[in-house]
């Protein structure tokens, strides 16, 4: 099992590096063609715009895969005192345009001030991935709640949506790489974002990172 996991990590890293270069060339070529098409052909421009968006999505996914691969090989963190409520508010503010574009809203429930000693970038990535995972996979999410509270001496960050939820079968596996647990197999994404949540949470010393399913999805 350990050998298989090691092979998967190496393969994941190598494939990601191999994909980056041709994808970059594709994006440059499409950008040039798009500029030319705007002067001559609106229909072609529309199609090229779609290709560029898909290329950007692939680039983002590959970046997440590379990030996951790097994290699994290193454990160094830049620890500092973090005001968790402010960090969460900033992440949510950045995600609000996405929420608005999907007819959703994000509600933050926090009792400031809340501070911890941790890696600010890692914590931002965790919260951002949880929020965007709640917003992106389904158009049926209207409200996403982000709760920040004390649980004993620990701080819990919980993201809950009111969408169709996930099956119990997949809820416990959604933090694994490349596992998708939404109701529809056509849902976008490959699970890399939630896998990053799991890895970064472990590196920061979190007690647990989990997903609960059925009606709506709760990630914490």
17 is catalytic: yes
Two tokens at 55?
């290329």
Catalytic entry in 5, 6, 17, 31: 17
156, with CB counted inside 10 A (0-12, 13-18, 19+), is middle
Give 75-80's long-range contacts (Cβ < 8 A, gap of 24+).
75/203, 77/118, 77/119, 77/122, 77/203, 77/204, 78/119, 78/120, 78/121, 79/117, 79/118, 79/119, 80/117, 80/118, 80/119, 80/120
Measured CA to CA, the distance from residue 110 to residue 215 in angstroms comes to: 23
Measured CA to CA, the distance from residue 77 to residue 143 in angstroms comes to: 33
Residue 165 per-residue DSSP state: -
CA torsion sign, 122 to 116 to 154 to 90? negative
Measured CA to CA, the distance from residue 38 to residue 218 in angstroms comes to: 44
Q: Which residues are catalytic?
A: 17
């Amino acid at each position: 099992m350990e050998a298989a996991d090691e092979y998967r990590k190496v393969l994941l890293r190598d494939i990601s590096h191999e994909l980056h270069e041709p994808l970059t060339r594709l994006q440059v070529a499409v950008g040039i063609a798009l500029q030319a098409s705007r002067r001559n052909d609106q229909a072609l421009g529309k199609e090229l715009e779609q290709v560029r968006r898909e290329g950007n999505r692939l680039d983002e996914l590959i970046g997440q895969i590379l990030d996951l691969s790097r994290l699994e090989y290193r454990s160094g963190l830049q620890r500092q005192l973090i005001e968790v409520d402010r960090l969460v508010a900033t992440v949510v503010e950045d995600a609000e345009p996405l929420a608005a574009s999907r007819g959703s809203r994000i509600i933050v429930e926090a009792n400031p001030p809340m501070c911890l000693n941790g890696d600010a970038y890692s914590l931002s990535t965790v919260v951002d991935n949880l929020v965007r995972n709640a917003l992106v996979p389904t158009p049926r999410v209207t409200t996403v709640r982000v709760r920040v509270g004390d649980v004993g001496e620990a701080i819990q960050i919980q993201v809950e949506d009111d969408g169709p939820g996930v099956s119990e079968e997949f809820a416990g596996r959604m933090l694994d790489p490349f596992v998708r647990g939404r109701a529809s197999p056509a849902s976008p994404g490959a699970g890399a974002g939630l896998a990053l949540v799991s890895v970064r949470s472990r590196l920061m010393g979190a007690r647990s990172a989990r997903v609960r399913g059925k009606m709506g999805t709760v990630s914490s």
